[in-house]
Amino acid sequence: MSFQVVDSSGRILDEGTDLDALKETLAPAVGRAIADSLGATPASVRQDPARSAASSNPAPPDADVTGARTGRGDGNGGVAEQTGVVSWVFGEIQREISRTVRGHRVTGYPALVDEGAAVGLRIFSRADEASVAMRTGVIRLLALRVPSPDKYVLEHLSNKEKLTFSQNPHGSVPDLLRDCTLAAIDKLVPEELPWTEQAFDSLYEAVRAELIDTVFSVTATVEVILSRNAELLRHLAEQPAPALMTAFSDLRSQREQLIYPGFVARTGYTQLAHLSRYLQGMLSRLGKLGTAVDRDAAHTAVVQRLEDEYDDAVAALLPGAPQLPARLRRVRWMLEELRVSLFSQELGTAYSVSEKRVRGALSEALAARS
């Protein structure tokens, strides 16, 4: 079967027999088309900070527009996509906007996006992508506004923490502390995110009041993680016997997926507490290798098959997805728990996990994306 993708004027954008490949190739164009259909100003255009997210862009004559905050809509002319914003200038961000264009209902999901030194406002074609982006955008905007605790925290670290923190993947201790601050803000941001300036201001006050103490709780956790990481690095730097090379290669790859520049915030506060156990599990596995080469190889094969399937699922994500969807993110950490259950059972797992459970969770994640 051959598929064609056409724009609103009937022009053929691309065609082929592989629908998934067409989706991937045309994802940026589709996203732009959805935003355009909803009356959005291109995100590449820097907006006047005084403009609200609910812009006065007129709807075309053949369009019926609905903006929805909680599932029911009220009239609105569109959403102005923005970039390079460092404060809440969005008014009230609608959670969903819809428009009927040439008889077809087009729905978009506005959300903040983390741009590193600023945030932007974009329209997503999927609610799950918008949800992930919105959280990271809110965290970044809070980090840009709240007084930095880095200097105070650095001055009050213990000598042991200072020594351990000097050996981090970020390149400098201040970079590591900024990463810890983002994780602390993540901990303080509730599941229900702010969608209005008033709600954001209230959250800012709550975060500012608790931030320093929360950063210290993060740095205490990170100190343990980095200590175990340093010990693991010493062992992995050794030249293994030929029979152990596969295991060493697997362990090195696993460690690199756990500890990297920005790992603290990317891991997130909740999951961060488990990293030291994963690293301890790797140390435990190393200690058993000499007497369990065949068993280790069998377990490695199981994990690597699942990781290949997981990698394929991640690769299938449309370009422009801000982060992993929640279901795929869950699979990613289930794989770490599975490693503990296979290689270091004595440490225990956070929940029941097996090859079958991981594969089932992966199938659910793929089904949710279809």
pLDDT in tens, 203-242: 999 999 999 999 999 999 999 999 999 999 999 999 999 9
- The arrangement of strands across the sheet holding 63-68 comes to 73-74, 63-68, 96-101, 104-114, 119-124, 82-85
Residue 174 lies in a domain: no
Residue 349 lies in a domain: no
Residue 122 lies in a domain: yes
Residue 216 lies in a domain: no
Residue 341 lies in a domain: no
Residue 362 lies in a domain: no
Residue 92 lies in a domain: yes
Average pLDDT, the chain: 83
Residue 24 lies in a domain: no
Global pTM reads: 0.79
Helices and strands in the chain, H and E counts:
13, 8
pLDDT in tens, 124-180: 888 888 999 999 999 999 999 999 999 999 999 988 899 999 989 998 999 999 999
* Crossing angle between the packed helical segments 326-343 and 275-288, to the nearest 10 degrees: 30
Domain that holds residue 44: 35-139
Domains identified in the chain, total number: 1
Q: How far apart are CA 206 and CA 352, in angstroms?
A: 35
